[in-house]
Every structure is written in structure tokens, then in C-alpha cells.
Structure 1
Amino acid sequence: MTIEYTKNYHHLTRIATFCALLYCNTAFSAELVEYDHTFLMGQNASNIDLSRYSEGNPAIPGVYDVSVYVNDQPIINQSITFVAIEGKKNAQACITLKNLLQFHINSPDINNEKAVLLARDETLGNCLNLTEIIPQASVRYDVNDQRLDIDVPQAWVMKNYQNYVDPSLWENGINAAMLSYNLNGYHSETPGRKNESIYAAFNGGMNLGAWRLRASGNYNWMTDSGSNYDFKNRYVQRDIASLRSQLILGESYTTGETFDSVSIRGIRLYSDSRMLPPTLASFAPIIHGVANTNAKVTITQGGYKIYETTVPPGAFVIDDLSPSGYGSDLIVTIEESDGSKRTFSQPFSSVVQMLRPGVGRWDISGGQVLKDDIQDEPNLFQASYYYGLNNYLTGYTGIQITDNNYTAGLLGLGLNTSVGAFSFDVTHSNVRIPDDKTYQGQSYRVSWNKLFEETSTSLNIAAYRYSTQNYLGLNDALTLIDE
């Protein structure tokens, strides 16, 4: 009996293994396979659960080292926990929010009651049901290749912008000191008179960690008038990577984008577009579309191809365009795997105020105004903010306030249309001078840019401004107040 049982056991093992291997080749098929117990030999053959093989070579609960692919692109080799789920014959990959970040997939809304595949404690994180919370998503695991495939619409994939270095890899550079100078001496002598002068100018600085100290100045000596010296542009500056911004303490200039630029001694904090991915630093529309199959998306401008990519089925977003120029509309072609094509046009013109959708630019300054031709140098607060609302609109605003009764506010809008790009803003100023007289007025500014493709002619109205009689900019207002 012992020998017969062993023989039957070996037959059973070989046949079960054969069944599993036979189905490996159809692991990705949607068709289920049902195995018959009668083909198995042995006393316990009827007790073996063959249904677990109906969906392919099964995975049992445990931790597996797998190669993760997203939309057929290799992402990472990682240990993934597979868990048993009620109603599922095979163990399922436990994918958490942390995993999605590692896989470069945008975080979905997990408030859906079907979002959680298996609840776990906060340390481990809940296992997410991707097929429920991301439309058209799928998760497959190949036991033989130890490969985990996750397919999601392209719109859910985080962008890896070309030529962009992650802020975590940025460096401050070495500690250093620097000095540049210019020396000039003059001597002349005539009977009974000798004339001499010395002039020196310098620019110096020191880098210490993240901080940059800069200063410039000059020294002048003449026989008749003696010596004098002047220091200017003294400030310390540093990057703030988390805000994509620069901080300046000391002498600097306010931005001239919204109001007249003035010199101040104080603080300035402003966003630095050089810290953004290069494709986000300038304006271009974001292309939205839907692919029915694995499709090729081509974008042309002025008859030239400027972008091409392939996308999986579902919604896609292209937000890393680098157009060859402004003013020429973009033609988007979606070619499906069955050969069918769809084409649509995206207007594209720009003025300097335009920003990409979702991108902001801001500038905040505060300090004492430095103006040589006035005696009373007031304190100033100035702020401005630009934001790309969508492919067609950029809104911007600004404010100027001094402690000697000057106030100005600005509202503006940039528009991308099929007849060109426009910007329009209005500034309202209010100033009260010492004799209790008040001046109020408005200044209107408009610009327009359009490329006529038929003649390859670009027409640009850089800035047309009209001001009412009692409108005063900051420099004019400070001069009037000081009189």
C-alpha cells in the first residue's frame, strides 16, 4: 500500500504541475479554464482544489521581489506584499499610496467606499483597489517572470520632465570669496599747479553654504576736493528650494512687471522660474484628449512636427510641450491602433503675462525706498501674483502701499485666442499730499500679439498705455509728496 500510494502521489503531482504550466501560456487571457478531477490519479485527487488554476498560475500570499512596470515601462524592482482577498482565488498585490508615488502614479481619491482592497494599520497603509478608483486601470502579476504590470490612463502618470533635476539633488556649491576691481590714477603737472586723482571701483562677494553675500562700491580722491567713497548693492541672497524662490535681504530692486521698479533696502522674496522644469518656465497650452486604444499622438505647428508620443487607452494629458514659436496654432492628431485618426486644433498665441495652466509667479518686497532726489524716503510694501487659470486665461494682480499715503492696485488678464494673444490691465492709484489734496486716477495698458501664417508676418503691440489726468505712478507721487 505504501508503494502504491507513493506512485499515485507522483502521478498526481506531475499532472497538477502540467495543468499549471499548460495554463501559464494563457495567463493574460480573459477566458477561464476548468480542470476535471477525473484525470488525476490517487486517493486524494478529488480533494485538490483545481479552481485556483482557472485564472492562471496562482500566486499565494507572501512577499515577492517583483519588477514593476507601468504602461509597459519598467519603473522599479521592489518587494511587494501579496494578500489573500475574500472572493479572489489568487493573492492580490497590496499597492498603497506610498507605492503609487514610487511608481510615479498620481494619488487618486480614496474616499470611495470601494477604494480599499484590504484595510491595514496606518504604518503599513491600506491596500488600494486600483481598478475601482482609477478608470480603465488594471493590475496583473506574472508568477513566472515575477513581473507586476500596472496599466493606467496616461493622465494618471506623473511627468518626468526632460532636463530637470530633482530639488533633493541640488547643491549649494563650495564656500568661496571673490573680488573684482578697477583702479585708475591720474597725474598732471603744469607750472605752478599739480593735479592728481585716484579712482577705485570694486565688486566683491562671499559664498557660505546657501548664502551669497554681495557688495559693490567706489572710492574717489582728488587733489582739490579730497576723498569720498560710496557703497551700494549690499545684500545677502539664498535659494529656498521648497518654495522655488529666492530671498534677498539688503539693497535690491522691486519687480517692474506690474509697477515701476524702485530701489529699496529691506527684504524681497520672489518665485524663480529657473527652478521649474524648463518646459514649465514659458507658456504653452496643455493638451487633453482621450484614446480609445493604444494610440499615437502627434502635434504639429506650422506644418512641422514638434511632439509625438504613444498613450494607453483612456484620458491623456500632454503638459511638457516646447513649441518652436508663438502665434501659430497647434494641430493634434490621435491615431488609434486600428488606423483611424482624429484631429483637433489648439489656439496658441502668447504675451509676456501668460503662464501655463496651474503655474504661478509671485513677488513680495518690503523696505525703505532709496531715492536720491527726495528727502523723506518712505517705507514700501509691494506684492504681485500671476497664475495660469487654463489654456486661455492668465490672471494677475498687484498692490503698492507706502507709509506716506500712496496706494496703488492692479488687476489684469492675459488671453490666448484664435485671433492672437491679448493682455489688459488697469491700475488705480490714490495719493494724498501734505496740503490734504488727494489725487486719484487710473492707468490702462493693453498688448497684443498675432502671427499671420499666410505671410509669416508677426504683428506685436508691445504695450499701449493710457492714463487719466490724476493718475500718479510711485516715482511721480513720491516726488510730489516731497515738494
Structure 2
Amino acid sequence: MKKIMDNYINKPSINLFIAGVLFASFNISANDYYPANLLNIEGSTQQVTNEDLNVFRENNIAPGHYTVTLFVNNNRIETREFDFILMEDKNNNKILAPRLSAEEWYKAGIDLPYDVINKSKNNDFINLNEINNANGYLDLNRKQYVLTLPQLYVNEDRLKENEIKNWDSGIPALLVSYALSSFNSRSQGNTTDSYYGNIQTQINLGPWRFNNYSTWTKNENGDKKWNTLSNVISRAITRINSELMIGDLYSSSQLFDSVKFRGIKLVTDRLMTPTQNRTYAPSVSGIANTESIVTITQNGQVIYKRSVPAGPFNITDYYPMNSGGDLYVSVTEADGSEKSFIVPFSSIANLERKGELKYSFSTGKYDGNNSGDGAYIIQTEAFYGLTDYVTLYGGILVGEKYQSVGVGTGVNLGSYGAITTDLLYAKSSTNNGNDPLHGNAFKVNYSKNISITDTTLSLVGYRHFDVNFLNFTQAMEHKDRKYYPSNGLKNEYTLSIN
């Protein structure tokens, strides 16, 4: 028996046959098979076939119509029903993606590469899987389709337009807040009580808002009094990123002294601009030799990081620290090499980003609790970011027998701080019938951040060149009596160290 087995094992042909069988057993593969009859529904005439289930080999969601919210690089675009189909990527994998045309992707804020557009059939739909580093996934639990792709293909301006389309005015609401205080006093056997209360009410209806602020007092003698301090109706005007207010208001105080009046006010509303654009900051520009990572550090903290394609870049969508401090920028190339540079940065009130415009317009009747009450006034101010480092601004204030004009400039001096200078001229004819008063005033505001000690230094010097310079409130106070220059404010200085 042993001899027979030896002869059998030693035959070369038999050995090759066994090896071939073993090799084949380790290389046999097959696609997944889904028993279609497991999904047959009792009583249904529709027969499910195995071909219907093949889509689940690479995706856990079947193609079809789904109502979801579309996000592009974490920016909400719109919520509606999309037709999702399987599209091949560069590795021939079928991935679920929305069926959208080039025009629809354009409206979503995406600038498509020409080669991707040319591959589309009759512009019926675009396969974003053709774009390098583009990734999208459908999340039915959250009802979202999230798409991420290189910043090169995303248009920031059109993304902002999509944000505006998603704004809403909120639900109708009534909000009430109040405070009530009581005071008890005892003296020589006598007891007196007094009370004070205030109530603030807001009514929201569509885009309109109504705000009331009233107080109530009851003194020791039992006299009661309601006093309405202000009534204001307001609404947002989204087309011009502004807010319209009507009622008891205060004018802007950035260039002129603030004035209380009853009338209309139209101002720029920074809440309608992206968060990173609400404060002043210079743009960060440079050149990347390859696809690179740009990192911005301020006061030892990383405040911005972003991938940029090869070529020139200009970054404005970052949010600096309000305390100031130079910006340290590093550009890390694809091969790991790094280059760095510094963007000088100091901030101060009245500075605006390059190309940004902010304005305020007020008109109505003066309400200052003096003899000038009822005088009609018009005040307007405008601030414009001329460059990354220079802001120009100016304004006018016109009232009954009073005219004033002001101009100013703000400059980011980088490592040396920031400074604003204002020049005001005023003419007042309210000097109780006497000769008109003409005067000029000059104001300097300087701010410097010292990063080593984390200290902010602010110096405000307000000098009146002429004793005949009057602001509007002073002019109204002397409407019915003579103004004596010796009583006027000559110089005022304020120093602040934090």
C-alpha cells in the first residue's frame, strides 16, 4: 500500500493538478447577490428583480427624488427636492449625486472647470465627481446633501446672494420685559412708600418691529405717573443691508455729537453682512507656487487657515482680534516648504474694510428738553474703506439756524498703531439775535496695541480751535439767550490704558 501511495505522490502531473486546484480556490471571486424574492411584498403585483438591488453594492441609498438641504463648503444654499442619480468618478466607482445642470451649479455659487462642462451631455447635468478633491454625501437622517470642493471653484459673492435668499423675518411674537422696585422710608415715626417700574414691549409682525419703553412712578404723596420714553417702529431693508427706524431716536455719534430727535433714521446694519466682514481688517495677499495652506496667526493664536490653489491669492474672509496685533502669515507649499511674511495691523473706531461703505441718515424734530425743541434737523454720515489701510469719511448736520460739516480720515499705521483725525466746522445763528458764530474743531484719536504686555493704549485729544465753535445742543441751549465765549469748552483730553 505504501508503495502505491509513493508512486501516486511522486507523479509530476498529479502535483501540478493539485497546486492548480489550490491556486484556483484562493482566487475565485463573485459579486454580491441579493435574493430578490426576499423583498417581495405580499399582495403586490410588482416583481422585484436582482438588478433592482445592484445599486446597493456601492451605496446604501437608492437613486430617487429626495427633499434635502444643499450645502456647499458648509454654506447653506437651498432646500428643495433633488433628483439623485449614480455618477461615475475617476476610479469608475458609482456615487450618488444630485442631477443638476451647469446653470444650476452656477447659481449655487460654483464656478465649474471648462473640461467638466464640456464632458456633460447637452448640458443636461454635470458630474461633479470629475473634479479633483470634490466630495459629496447624502445624509437622509439630517435631510442634507453636503458638498465640499476646492475653494478655487467657489464664488464667495454668489454664496452671499444665496445666504440672503435664505433670510426670513421670523415668526409673529410679543415680547415683554419689566422691572418693579419699591422703597420704604421711616423717619420720626412717619412711614412713606414710593414705587418705580419700567416695561419694555416688542411686537414682531413680518419684517416690522415695534418697541415701546415706558416707566411708572408713585411718589410719597401717592401721585402716580406713566411716562413713555420712546416708541420706535423699525424694519430691515435687505436690498441695501440697512435698517429703517421711525420714532424717538438718537442720531449717529461717530462724527458729530449725538442728538435726540423724533423722526426717521436709516442706517447700515452690519448684522446683514458676514461675521468676518463686520469689523475692519486689511486683506492678506500673496503668491502660492503650488496648492498650499495659508495660516494667519495673531497674538500667538491661529485665527485663520485655508487651502489655496497655485497662483496669486487674496484673503479677506477672516476675523481678527479686536485688540489688534500684527498678522503673521505662513504659506505651506505641497512639498512641505514654508514661507512667511507679516501684515501690519492696528484697529480703531471708524476704520472700514477696503471697498466697504457704511452710512447713517437721520431727519426729524429735535427733542432735547430745552428751548430748541421742535427745530427740524438733518444729519448724515458716510464711511468708506479707500484702501486696506486708509478710510475716508464725512458728514453734515443742518438745523434751524445751524450748519455744520465734518471730514475725517482713519489710517492703519501697522506696528505704530492706528489714528483718526476729524475736522469740524460749525456756523450758528442762534446767538439770541446777535452776530452768527463761526468755529472750527479738531479731533485726534490714537490707539496702539502692545502685544508683549497685552496692553491697549488709547489717546483722544479734542481741541477747539475757536471759542465760537458750538455743537448743535449748545446752539439750541443759547437760542433765546446770548452766548458768552468764556463759558465754552476749550480743550478736552482722554487717556485710556487697558
Does TM, normalized by the shorter one, top 0.5?
yes
Q: Distance in 2 between matches of 1:449 and 1:252?
A: 30
**Secondary structure of 2:369's aligned partner:** coil
1:411 and 2:407 matched: yes
Structure 1 residue 158: Cα displacement:
2.4
Q: Distance in 1 between matches of 2:209 and 2:88?
A: 43
Q: Distance in 1 between matches of 2:183 and 2:220?
A: 12
**Secondary structure of 1:482's aligned partner:** coil
**Secondary structure of 2:169's aligned partner:** coil
Change (3 A) 1:295 1:222: closer
Structure 1 residue 166: Cα displacement:
4.4
Contact 1:273 1:281 (C-alpha < 8 Å) held by counterparts:
yes
1:257 and 2:254 matched: yes
Change (3 A) 1:102 1:197: closer
Q: Distance in 2 between matches of 1:425 and 1:401?
A: 18
Change (3 A) 1:362 1:317: same
Q: Distance in 1 between matches of 2:97 and 2:389?
A: 38
Aligned to 1:422: 419
Q: Distance in 1 between matches of 2:387 and 2:297?
A: 21
Query: Structure 2 unaligned runs (5+)?
Result: 1-83, 90-94, 134-148, 482-498
Structure 1 residue 217: Cα displacement:
2.8
The residue correspondences of 1:215-234 to structure 2 (distance < 5 A) are: 215-220=212-217, 228-234=225-231
Structure 1 residue 360: Cα displacement:
2.2
1:102 and 2:105 matched: no
Structure 1 residue 411: Cα displacement:
1.0
**Secondary structure of 1:239's aligned partner:** strand
Change (3 A) 1:156 1:464: farther
Residue among 276, 280, 290 paired with 1:293 = 290
Residue among 354, 359, 371 paired with 2:351 = 354
Aligned to 2:98: 77
One-letter amino acid of the structure 2 residue matched with residue 371 of structure 1:
G
The residue correspondences of 1:325-344 to structure 2 (distance < 5 A) are: 326-344=323-341
Q: Give the TM-score normalised by structure 1.
A: 0.65
Aligned to 1:242: 239
Q: Give the TM-score normalised by structure 2.
A: 0.64
The residue correspondences of 1:189-204 to structure 2 (distance < 5 A) are: 201-204=198-201
Structure 1 residue 376: Cα displacement:
4.5
Contact 1:218 1:231 (C-alpha < 8 Å) held by counterparts:
yes
Query: Structure 1 unaligned runs (5+)?
Result: 1-63, 81-94, 106-127, 132-136
Q: Distance in 1 between matches of 2:410 and 2:374?
A: 34
Change (3 A) 1:230 1:344: same
Count of aligned positions: 369
One-letter amino acid of the structure 2 residue matched with residue 421 of structure 1:
A
Aligned to 2:320: 323
Aligned to 1:117: none
Residue among 460, 463, 473 paired with 2:460 = 463
The residue correspondences of 1:24-423 to structure 2 (distance < 5 A) are: 77-80=98-101, 95=102, 99-105=105-111, 141=119, 147-149=129-131, 157-159=154-156, 166=164, 168-176=166-174, 178=176, 180=178, 182=180, 184=182, 201-220=198-217, 228-324=225-321, 326-402=323-399, 404-418=400-414, 419-423=416-420
One-letter amino acid of the structure 2 residue matched with residue 348 of structure 1:
F
One-letter amino acid of the structure 1 residue matched with residue 444 of structure 2:
V
One-letter amino acid of the structure 1 residue matched with residue 369 of structure 2:
D
1:473 and 2:455 matched: no
One-letter amino acid of the structure 2 residue matched with residue 100 of structure 1:
Y
Contact 1:141 1:148 (C-alpha < 8 Å) held by counterparts:
no
**Secondary structure of 2:334's aligned partner:** coil
Identity level (%) = 24
**Secondary structure of 1:215's aligned partner:** strand
**Secondary structure of 1:481's aligned partner:** coil
Q: Distance in 2 between matches of 1:256 and 1:146?
A: 51
Q: Distance in 2 between matches of 1:153 and 1:200?
A: 58
Q: Distance in 2 between matches of 1:466 and 1:75?
A: 69
Contact 2:290 2:310 (C-alpha < 8 Å) held by counterparts:
yes
